[in-house]
Amino acid sequence: MKHFETELAALRGRIDAIDSQLLTLLNARAAVVRDIFALKERAGVPRFNRARTEAILQRLVEANRGPLSAQEVRMIFTPLLEFFVEHFRAGSGAGSTAESSESGR
């Protein structure tokens, strides 16, 4: 049983590290989305572009080497992309400059 617990702890440690990397990457993505929305706002262009969303999903499906299936990639990324469209605007959302500087204090 000791070997099991040691191996499980090691695997969970790997998951924790991956989760931390995902969080860092999601925050980086949020900052870029915020910048894109600000640019689109200045240009008077709609924030949402269905063709771009579909192109992102298609690119991810094509880049996927598993073990996730194409359907699973879409199931994971579709709500993620929707979240960024719905919750982030120029100067708002979790990636806003005001909130970022508050959390850095």
pLDDT cut 90: percent of the chain above it: 77
Which of 37-41, 44-48, 62-66, 91-95 ranks highest by mean pLDDT? 62-66
Characterize 40-49 residue by residue with b for buried, 16 or more Cβ atoms within 10 angstroms of its Cβ, and e for exposed.
beeeeeeeee
pLDDT reading at 53 higher than 60: yes
Full set of structural domains in the chain with CATH:
2-103 (1.20.59.10)
Collect all residues with Cβ–Cβ distance below 8 Å to 60 and sequence separation of at least 6: 73, 77
Asked if 84 contacts 30 with a C-beta cutoff of 8 angstroms, the reply is yes
pLDDT reading at 98 higher than 50: no
Q: What is the pTM of this model?
A: 0.79
Question: Which of the four pLDDT bands, split at 50, 70 and 90, describes residue 99?
Answer: very low
